[in-house]
Amino acid sequence: MRIRIDGTRAEVIDALFRLRLHFTVVSVSRLYPDRARHSHWRIYLTTTPRRGR
């Protein structure tokens, strides 16, 4: 599954750590600045469900 996270830098990092509790993160893109909102960033993740859940 591919997931896009956008928000402030702190929100993006927090969401990444929270998603790692429920998914196996296979890859993470670099942090991209949001063109519309200069204080916001976006990141792309490729994940798989964790086994045994």
Residues 6+ apart with CB under 8 A from 2: 44, 45, 46, 47
Q: In which band, very low, low, confident or very high, does the pLDDT at 18 lie, cut at 50, 70 and 90?
A: very high
Share of the chain above pLDDT 70, in %: 96
Average pLDDT over residues 41-51: 93
How far apart (Å, rounded) are the C-alpha atoms in residues 25 and 31? Answer: 15
Q: In which band, very low, low, confident or very high, does the pLDDT at 53 lie, cut at 50, 70 and 90?
A: low
